[in-house]
Structure 1
């Protein structure tokens, strides 16, 4: 399944799920001093971008090192996306990723990894880079825009939650989960088709 810049951007936004991350983000940031929340949010988004960009740029070398085919990555990535999508639909936000419960200021875990740069996001950027490596600059651009949008949403977390309400945030997350389910199934079918028919 080939992607355009727009479809890659939409796929990344579905996988990163900034609206679905709001409940977890608000919960984790509750113990952070209000004057530091914006700085912490930006730092975690930048760290997540760095992790995903590394996976995207080094994706083909990573696959070659482990002797993995693009077909197996496509199927595995689809399965991971499907699991995340099902959790988005049937679980509350706090059940998707757990925090360490220590009350310390978050650093990398759980906001950058796995909330933003989780297994599904890593699999997605690897897949984009391995399927169409000649368009790597576009994928990096799509990732940059997607992470910027996530950063804006997270910076406005408290305001958005008050504006939309918990029910609306939950409804948006479930809708994104439904769309992501269809994307995941398409990825699995495309990988199986390439495996069995070589197309």
Structure 2
């Protein structure tokens, strides 16, 4: 599946799911003084961006070292996206990523796995694997995704109060439905690539 810049940005944004992460951030930052909350959010988003950029640079080498094919990555990524979508459409009490530990969060659970989780890591590996020559675009997408996420999550409490918990939950379910559709497309792309590779090997 060939991604345009806009479609790749949309996919990465949906996988990072900053709106869906609003309840997680609010819960995790309850014990943090109000004057530090914005700095903690920005710090965690920056850490997530660094982690994703490292995966972007080392994505191809990582795949080669594990002997993973593009088809396997596409199907595996589709599976992760589908699991994420299911938990977004049918949320549990613990949320998509489970319960957050107490105290001021550092890396876990906000940077990882809330933003730089299995879904976003798999997505950046998928994008880099699909076209390594567009590494600059993929890095820009990572930076934009984390910057947008930071902008949204800094105002997490205000956003939730403004739109209400029901609207936030409804929007998260809508994004889950979109992700489910993308997951199906990733499955189909992976299966197609596997069949094409198998046929070439047979010939």
Question: Any unmatched runs of 5+ in structure 1?
Answer: none
Moved over 3 A (4+): none
TM-score, structure 2 as length reference: 0.94
- Following superposition, the deviation at residue 4 of structure 1 comes to 1.0
- Following superposition, the deviation at residue 197 of structure 1 comes to 2.3
Distance 1:53 1:185 in 2: 26
- Following superposition, the deviation at residue 99 of structure 1 comes to 3.3
Distance 2:94 2:168 in 1: 13
Match of 1:7 in 2: 7
TM-score, structure 1 as length reference: 0.96
- Following superposition, the deviation at residue 146 of structure 1 comes to 1.1
Superposed CA RMSD in Å reads 1.3
Distance 1:149 1:92 in 2: 26
Matches within 5 A, 1:30-41: 30-41=30-41
Cα distance change of structure 1 residues 85 and 61 upon mapping to structure 2, 3 Å threshold: same
Distance 1:100 1:4 in 2: 35
**Secondary structure of the equivalent of 2:172?**
helix
Q: Is the 8 A contact 2:16 2:120 kept in 1?
A: yes
Match of 1:67 in 2: 67
Distance 2:31 2:159 in 1: 19
Matches within 5 A, 1:9-158: 9-92=9-92, 94-101=94-101, 103-158=102-157
Q: Deviations over 1:103-123 (max 9, x none)?
A: 210000000000101101100
**Secondary structure of the equivalent of 1:142?**
helix
